[in-house]
Structure 1
Amino acid sequence: MTVYIFTVFYMLLSACIIYPPIEFVSAGITVKDIFSSWLGSENEFFIQYHIKRSIATLFVHSVLPFGYLLGLVLFGNIETARIFLGSDNPLWPTLAVCSLIGPIYAVYKVLCWSRNNWATHPIAESLAVYCNNNTRWISVASDINIEYRRIDKIVIDTNSVTRIVATDNWIIKISPYKLYVAHQSDTALIVNKSDTHVMSPTTRGEVQFVNIEVKPTRIGAQSFTIRLNALDFKDLQDKVSRPITVLENVTFHRTVLDRFIDTFKEEVAKNPYYETAQELEQCIGCMQTTSNVKLNRLCENVSEAVGPDACVACYCRPMWCIECIAKWFASRQNENATETWLSSKCTCPVCRAKFCLLDVCLVRTLSQ
């Protein structure tokens, strides 16, 4: 039984080492934290740091099978381990050899990469594509190092093992074993997919992701895909000098406000309509859409309207469209507490009557 418990424990531990959860990252139990003294400063020598980090990651991942076998002998039940790994069991030498293949291969690859000042390392090879006038990959690495030191770069953590870096001239995707590099001057960026995930079935919270295909036109450069939270899209868009093409069939919320407006519309659609026979005019907010919203107090009875936070009847005629009133509602909320926006209150832009989401009604015009 001890062997089975150890096996389950080691599998979970290995998964957390390969793809560390938030708890491991916070506790500093990651490859880059454990080897931080050897890796040096990422801010000073960005490329050299990640060459070392990829080597450390490869080595740690390669010794995981050997660590399991060693753990069985040290921490497993002696009798069970003897049956499972005894000299009479032909499975033992097979497992022993297989567990050593990974570390041996890792050492071999590191020795191969180290030749000619790491020129054959995957990161160096990806940089060599951008060499001009017989320069070496070191010169490209130096340019990237300089730009990474600048404070105006953006760094987006897409998950615990992948990051996106955008500097003045470069777009870089950091993965466990290599860097994907593209120079902005000859790169096309295309948003080709978006997907939405509900964080909890009992709440309105959801998260939306977009996939951006980065396609360098430089001969030999490798295309790659960036998957990031849709709310980080604008930060990336503002930093890169190239336009980001969004395919016609792809829609997503680029900001928190965009997501709130859509949710606001969905909730208002559940409220009763406000029926009127008067002619509707243009929205005084955008002057582009016919006004279609009336603030009609429905959330509580008149007798319950006590206290400074109670909603108040609004006697203004319909003057706003749903999108403008949603933007006004959002502008009056605490931007650091977006999760409370829908349950909060606001005041009418004209008469300052206090209202909540339940008081916002779409207008239905009665035929005369």
Structure 2
Amino acid sequence: MDIMITLFYALFSFCVVYPPSEFVAAGFTITQIFDNFLGSESTNFIKYHMKRITITSLIHASLPLGYVCTLWCCGERGEWMPASALGAAIIPMIMLVDKVLLPLNSVSKVIATQNWLIKVTPYNVNIVKQLDCSLVATAADTHNLSPSGEDEVQYVNVEVIPSRDDVKRFSFRMSNTALRELQPRLMRPMRVPESISLIPPLIERFVEVFKTNIAKNPMYYYDNDEVEQCIGCMQNQADVKIVNRCEPAQPGPADGQRPQPPCSPCN
């Protein structure tokens, strides 16, 4: 139905802008319809064409608005949810402080609430229930911010695929750091294909390198009463023991030279 209305209105607009001979014969042109208002062209040529140009410009400019009104009145609306009902379901979630709001750029953002996932752009708002969609990482690219490659930033393209046919899928692009802030709020984990490798955060990379170097050290045997709390979290028992392996201080010579510092031979 909407396609038929669009084709009909396009044909109608073309006939209004460039009226065929049938429209001219039927008197369905702008100059003929507003003949009484325009007056006589021969008696007042300038004023006549000033009026004609003004009316023609107004009618041509109103054709897009007329199409929207025609489509609104005669088109198929389908089983749409009232905006007030949708707003009543979303607004309480938006007002909660535990929502996650992540800017995509200066004009777009992604909002994740307890039940909803929302993408806001200058000309559109995509809303989907988290239980009715799945998130899939489609691409990832990494950029080095320093010549040494120590500072890296990764951007991930994520596509939101609704399980309902009446909800349009959408996608967004955000940094890996922002994506890790979004993931705890998601009710379903995001799928990452094997071809895409996400860079772990800096703290995880530090822990991995730290564990690799710790594994090279010899085993240390201890008593249960000797283990202290982890200095990082102060909640769990530490699984790493730091042992002072410095050589004992050597006494200085008899001429009064200062003794050797105790930790200078440490490797």
**Structure-1-length-normalised TM-score:** 0.38
Structure 2 counterparts to residues 217-228 of structure 1, below 5 A: 217-228=163-174
Specify whether residues 349 and 211 from structure 1 end up closer, same or farther in structure 2 by C-alpha distance, changes over 3 A only: farther
1:193 aligns to what? Answer: 139
Q: Note if contact 1:234-1:254 (Cα within 8 Å) is conserved in structure 2.
A: no
Question: Letter of the aligned partner of 1:158 in structure 2?
Answer: L
Number of aligned residue pairs: give it: 168
Give distance in 1, aligned partners of 2:64 and 2:114.
37
Q: Note if contact 1:231-1:253 (Cα within 8 Å) is conserved in structure 2.
A: no
1:293 and 2:185 are equivalent in the alignment: no
Question: Letter of the aligned partner of 1:293 in structure 2?
Answer: K
2:253 aligns to what? Answer: none
Match of 1:157 among 98, 103, 113: 103
Specify whether residues 349 and 196 from structure 1 end up closer, same or farther in structure 2 by C-alpha distance, changes over 3 A only: farther
SS at match of 1:231: helix
Q: Note if contact 1:231-1:256 (Cα within 8 Å) is conserved in structure 2.
A: no
Fraction of identical pairs, as percent: 25
Larger helix percent: 1
Deviation at 1:140, TM superposition (A): 0.6
Question: Letter of the aligned partner of 2:135 in structure 1?
Answer: L
Consecutive aligned runs of 4 or more in structure 1 exceeding 6 Å deviation: none
Deviations along 1:180-236, one digit per CA (max 9) or x if unpaired, are 221111101112222111113256211011122110111221111121111122321
Specify whether residues 250 and 203 from structure 1 end up closer, same or farther in structure 2 by C-alpha distance, changes over 3 A only: closer
1:243 aligns to what? Answer: 189
2:5 aligns to what? Answer: none
1:258 and 2:204 are equivalent in the alignment: yes
1:229 and 2:175 are equivalent in the alignment: yes
SS at match of 1:195: strand
2:118 aligns to what? Answer: 172
SS at match of 1:147: helix
2:242 aligns to what? Answer: 350
Deviation at 1:147, TM superposition (A): 1.1
User: Which of these two proteins has the greater Rg computed from alpha carbons?
Assistant: 2
Specify whether residues 290 and 159 from structure 1 end up closer, same or farther in structure 2 by C-alpha distance, changes over 3 A only: closer
Specify whether residues 237 and 155 from structure 1 end up closer, same or farther in structure 2 by C-alpha distance, changes over 3 A only: same
Question: Letter of the aligned partner of 1:351 in structure 2?
Answer: V
Q: Note if contact 1:187-1:214 (Cα within 8 Å) is conserved in structure 2.
A: yes
1:145 aligns to what? Answer: 91
Specify whether residues 248 and 182 from structure 1 end up closer, same or farther in structure 2 by C-alpha distance, changes over 3 A only: same
Deviation at 1:148, TM superposition (A): 0.5
Question: Letter of the aligned partner of 2:94 in structure 1?
Answer: Y
Structure 2 counterparts to residues 1-368 of structure 1, below 5 A: 112=68, 131=81, 136-201=82-147, 204-260=150-206, 292-294=215-217, 317=218, 349-351=241-243
Deviation at 1:170, TM superposition (A): 0.8
Give distance in 2, aligned partners of 1:200 and 1:226.
26
Q: Note if contact 1:129-1:219 (Cα within 8 Å) is conserved in structure 2.
A: no
> Whose relative contact order is higher, 1 or 2, with alpha carbons under 8 Å and at least 6 apart?
1
Specify whether residues 318 and 239 from structure 1 end up closer, same or farther in structure 2 by C-alpha distance, changes over 3 A only: same
